[in-house]
A and B are shown apart, each in its own frame.
With several copies, the nearest count.
Chain A
Amino acid sequence: APFGLGRAALPEEIAAWDVDVLPDGRGLPEGQGNVLTGEAIFTDKCAACHGDFAEGRGNWPALAGGQDMLADADPVKTVGSYWPHLSTSFDYIRRSMPYGDAGTLTADEVYALVAYILYSNDLVAEEFTLSKNNFAAVQMPNADGFLRDDRDTMELPRWQVAPCMEDCKESVNVTMRALSLDVTPKDAAPATVPQQTPVANVEPASEP
């Protein structure tokens, strides 16, 4: 090693922090949990934000629903409808939830919660028990829904062209106006704005 800086990481230290779970199941701890246990924990620790059936509440994320509508307008993206790998739920819930009290769930509790979220998404039966052993067997509906970034082939050839400078359009019409939507925080709105007629209906988009 060129600099000789730092110190060797101890096995216990690596174990404490290296908790990521990969799509093939590497990183899963020993343990198991079933849907009904998961439901109880969920009701207790999760439902306040995510809804009793993981359907979401207000602006808090929905974890269930939305299946088979990814090609529709404004799809609902949830663990069931969108997430390609079950590993992601285990990894994320174990390290980051419940929000405000992260890292407090045991491995068995996380298995149970993931089982319950699968159940809420109609992906397993009420009797289902999730464990390290059967984790890989769970089929995620949108597992094949992702492709690698293809902007280089799909977009760059279109945009890497000489820009038009004159007579680029026949006519120009205003088709949409933010003012008609009126969702800009008021304290930041400009002092004077003209009174004009709304042009089109627009809607708030989803979170960043």
Chain B
Amino acid sequence: MAARSAAAQSPDPLIVEPQPWAQGLGDGVDVTPYGLPIRFEQDVVRRNVPWLTADTISSINFTPIHALDGTITPQGCAFERHHSGAIELSKQDYRLMVNGLVDRPLVFTYADLERFPRENHVYFCECAANSGMEWAGAQLNGAQFTHGMIHNMEYTGVPLRLLLEEAGYDPAGKWVYVEGADASSNGRSIPMDKALDDVLVAFKANGEALRKEHGYPVRLVVPGWEGNLWVKWLRRIEVTDAPVESREETSKYTDTLADGSSRKWTWAMDAKSVITAPSPQSPVPHEAGPLVITGLAWSGRGAITRVDVSTDGGASWQTARLAQKGTPMALSRFYLDVQWDGTEMLLQSRAMDDTGYVQPTKTQLRAVRGLNSVYHNNGIQTWWLHADGSVENVEVS
């Protein structure tokens, strides 16, 4: 164990001198009707990677997971992915159509939706491309960039099932096609079983209205499944007998294997985890001694049951502490409280879910999928913590 820091040589002026905040008056309760983070936290923001896409409008940014703790993601810094930009659509201008293989094609206003029974659930939303840049190897030096295409919010919405029942869906309709009001429309086909199971037509996240960039006023929530299915600015739901095979489910969000064939309909997000601190953007600011290793774990197939942490690049593992019992399709926070000896470590985390799935290594994944994947990289991440406290993104044998 590290020795406690020596007593200060002389009294700390921050304690023994009068300080302005202890003498004067701060802000009144009328100063920020809607508040933002304090200016000292200005680095805790979404960031994008300019070289990744042709422009910022059909692009993505990243949640600053390296600087967050707990499990809830504030909407203000929750990652965004748009295919034709974040549009502005008012509740008054909002319409939702349900058509196709239904008894009664219907149009709903926003106010209509608020009259259906609602549910509340915390779910993660992960872009299928999260960690995608890392298929080629260690590329981006920060958990925000390698694993930040994820957020986790408490959603309030109407079960999609209720809207399908309202229109009288035909049991011959095996698929539900959903699309948004933006120019991309981002159409996706969802099997009817999932649509009737746990999909929500959501209008609130973390208690308040969805933000513009997350689909205000209404988005789809598709628990455990890739974020591209979570259609924003939802405008139409069509019951069909076949998938539409839209651009988003053929050209994109398919997974090309080593032999050149490609998987389609890879909806579920595999169990995954990442250490958020220490990490390249969250170096260790202290010497040897007590160190909190923390991170996030999640699974699209159910609840996280266990997370292991390795400090030696996967040679040996210790089971971390889950902050709370895992719940289905939601982020879990884990902690491992260690005594750091001040020497370098190769940090890894490994998630397990209630189906018994154990997060694989990148090597294991590449052995099955080859090297041409873009999406669904849930391989174990390695951070190299150096003796000086700095951390870098590496891969290990």
Contacts and interface: CB of A to CB of B under 8 A. Distances in A.
Q: Do chains A and B touch in the complex (CB under 8 A)?
A: yes
A10 B261 CA distance: 43
Contact of A172 (B177, B184, B263, B396): B396
B260 A204 contact: no
Interface stretch (B2-10, B69-77, B205-213, B214-222): B2-10
Interface in B1-52: 1-8, 10-12, 15-16, 18, 22-25, 43, 47-52
A188 B107 CA distance: 32
A158 B364 contact: yes
For chain A, which range describes its interface: under 10, 10 to 19, 20 to 34, or 35 or more residues?
35 or more
B131 to A, nearest CB: 10
The prevalent SS among residues of B at the interface is loop
A17 B18 CA distance: 10
A84 B139 contact: no
A159 B357 contact: yes
A208 B393 contact: no
Interface string B87-104: 000000000011110001
Contact of B140 (A155, A165, A178): A178
A147 B134 CA distance: 24
A16 interface: yes
Given A7-B106, A88-B245, A147-B263, A174 B394 contact: yes
Given A1-B165, A167-B315, A205 B132 contact: yes
B168 interface: yes
Interface stretch (A31-39, A74-82, A113-121, A123-131): A74-82
B155 interface: no
A177 B394 contact: yes
For chain B, which range describes its interface: under 10, 10 to 19, 20 to 34, or 35 or more residues?
35 or more
Interface in A145-176: 145-151, 154-156, 158-169, 171-176
B149 A169 contact: no
A80 to B, nearest CB: 11
A204 B256 CA distance: 17
A205 B263 CA distance: 19
A101 B247 contact: no
Nearest to B393: A178
A141 to B, nearest CB: 11
B5 A14 contact: no
A11 to B, nearest CB: 9
B51 A163 contact: no
A14 B99 contact: yes
Interface string B237-258: 0101010111100110010101
Given A103-B183, A150-B263, A173 B390 contact: no
A184 B112 CA distance: 29
Interface in A162-208: 162-169, 171-179, 181, 183-185, 187-194, 199-200, 202-208
A16 B262 CA distance: 33
Contacts of A12: 11, 16
Given A5-B166, A7-B8, A148 B263 contact: yes
Nearest to B375: A208
B133 interface: yes
25 contacts: A1-B165, A4-B4, A6-B5, A7-B7, A9-B106, A10-B11, A13-B97, A14-B97, A49-B54, A60-B54, A70-B260, A77-B251, A84-B245, A102-B23, A159-B360, A159-B364, A163-B358, A178-B140, A189-B142, A190-B142, A190-B281, A192-B388, A193-B392, A205-B134, A208-B59
Interface of B: 1-8, 10-12, 15-16, 18, 22-25, 43, 47-54, 58-60, 81, 83-84, 97-100, 104-109, 112, 115-116, 127-130, 132-142, 144-145, 149, 162, 165-168, 177, 179, 183-185, 187, 235-236, 238, 240, 242, 244-247, 250-251, 254, 256, 258-268, 270, 280-281, 283, 289-290, 308, 312-317, 346, 350, 352, 355-360, 364, 368, 371-372, 374, 384, 386, 388, 390-397
